[in-house]
Structure 1
Amino acid sequence: MAIRTGHDKPLLPAGPACGTSCGMTMLFDLTANPSVPVIGEAARFPVRRIFCVGRNYAAHAKEMGFSPDKDAPFFFTKSPWALCQSGATIPYPLGTANCHYEMELVLAIGAPAFRVAEDDALAAVYGYACGLDMTRRDLQNAARDQGRPWDFGKDFENAAVIAPITRAADFGAAAGQAIRLTQNGEVRQDASLTELIFSVPELIAYLSTFYHLEPGDLIYTGTPAGVGPIALGDRLLGTIDGLTPVELAIGPAD
């Protein structure tokens, strides 16, 4: 099965949709799902889920002490509430003394995809963006050493920074574009999207065998070598040729 149109979903019973419109009273209201601006569009891209790929550049895998794994990609997730808009000044993250930047290409899914073939996978991509996968490295490493999940290291407030999305038709294929990050004007990461171990179509096709991907899903595709710690007062600038840069400043901890 390839890209789903959405017409094959089970129909809901007649009447109001489930939720507050069903007449149920909630104890409190939740904040609306976060969204991301789109270049050239008045409407914004609502975010449903955030998937992230681990060790998808060979040099980064090696700098983290691992051999590159080319058998299959692996993923972790971040909550939508971890999303942070480019240009923000964030407090130094809680509970860590070693928070790292990781510059990444982000995919914005705009069409349902389930068990999609690699040749059809790009049809599910709405657009692309620059992003930062912020990581509490000390907490991640402690969890990894104990065989525990990475949630405390990866999923926290402002951990998924994203720039405005560029529509796929205006970006083209993720091929030889340069991907870079500077910290206070000094180059820290400098690579090419050709260095991705698993390509964009491969990532989407593989992930769609475990999830029904839907519009609003984001996929952070992994970071090149050169990751490192942030400090109070830092200014980060991440760029990918053809996309709007992602910017972040680090303020005092709460």
Structure 2
Amino acid sequence: MTLQDIQNIFCIGRNYAQHAKELGNEVPDTPLLFTKPTGALAFANGQTLSYPSGQGEIHHELEIVLKVGKKSNSQSVNDRVVEIALGIDLTLRDLQSKLKKKGHPWERAKGFRNSAILTPFWPLTNVDEIKQTTFSLQKNGEIIQSGNSTEMLFDFQQVLDECEQAFGLSEGDIIFTGTPEGVGPIAEGDHFTLHWGEEEKGSFYVSFTE
């Protein structure tokens, strides 16, 4: 897979109740949608990813990512979703807070370069398989986020339907499905590894530039 294989990036906010609560946000009663530009994409392939300093805290948010396949007559998630990956949705948290207070869109806090980090995708035959596996994020060897899709407020079918209705979905679109609790800031030299069960799916290092 290359970055060119991905068309649109759709994201679901506050899809785990404990994450919404840890940030002092209301738990939504319908899926909260936002997007990222494709220029935000980066791979968790062991590389060092750079971020400009002086922008306040940048928070990591571990997520399951769905990849949409070819159009079909069926809107079943099992027919439309062909692969999954793990991803990190990075957020300029201080900027996001300012934007929210002003009632402005979040994109400036969500769509910066290297803010949508992906492991390689792997095939999916049935979304029920996902429920059997816990996913986690380690920072410098310590587990800092861990979750299971059964904890989602809106399941994969609801997420798919909402994105289809709001935006329309095409082959190559990806959906970040929300993060469990445990989000926090990244720092210079941090080493992150993304895990599906016991299997490491990807990793990256953090660097800040002036």
TM-score (norm 2): 0.91
Take 1:76 and 1:231, find their aligned partners in 2: how far apart are those partners?
25
Paired residue secondary structure (1:158): coil
The 5 Å alignment of 1:38-57 reads 46-57=5-16
Deviations 1:50-108 (A, max 9, x none): 00100000100000102322x21011100111100112211134551200111100001
- Note if 1:35 corresponds to 2:2: yes
Report the RMSD for the aligned CA atoms in angstroms: 2.2
Gaps of 5+ in 1: 1-33, 37-44
Q: Which has the higher helix share?
A: 2
Take 1:68 and 1:153, find their aligned partners in 2: how far apart are those partners?
20
Q: Which runs of 4+ in 1 moved over 6 A?
A: none
**1:221 pairs with one of 154, 159, 177:** 177
Question: What is the CA-CA distance between 1:35 and the residue it aligns to?
Answer: 2.2
Q: Is the 8 A contact 1:52 1:75 kept in 2?
A: yes
Seq. identity, % = 34
Q: Is the 8 A contact 2:89 2:116 kept in 1?
A: yes
Paired residue secondary structure (2:160): helix
Match of 1:23 in 2: none
Structure whose CA Rg is larger = 1
Match of 2:197 in 1: 241
TM-score (norm 1): 0.76
Q: Is the 8 A contact 2:85 2:119 kept in 1?
A: yes
**2:112 pairs with one of 156, 159, 162:** 156
Match of 2:40 in 1: 82
Gaps of 5+ in 2: none
Aligned pairs, number: 209
Match of 2:68 in 1: 109
- Note if 1:209 corresponds to 2:176: no
Higher relative contact order (CA 8 A, sep 6+): 2
Q: Which has the higher strand share?
A: 2
The 5 Å alignment of 1:114-153 reads 117=75, 120-153=76-109
Task: Tell me which amino acid in the other structure corresponds to 2:5.
Answer: P
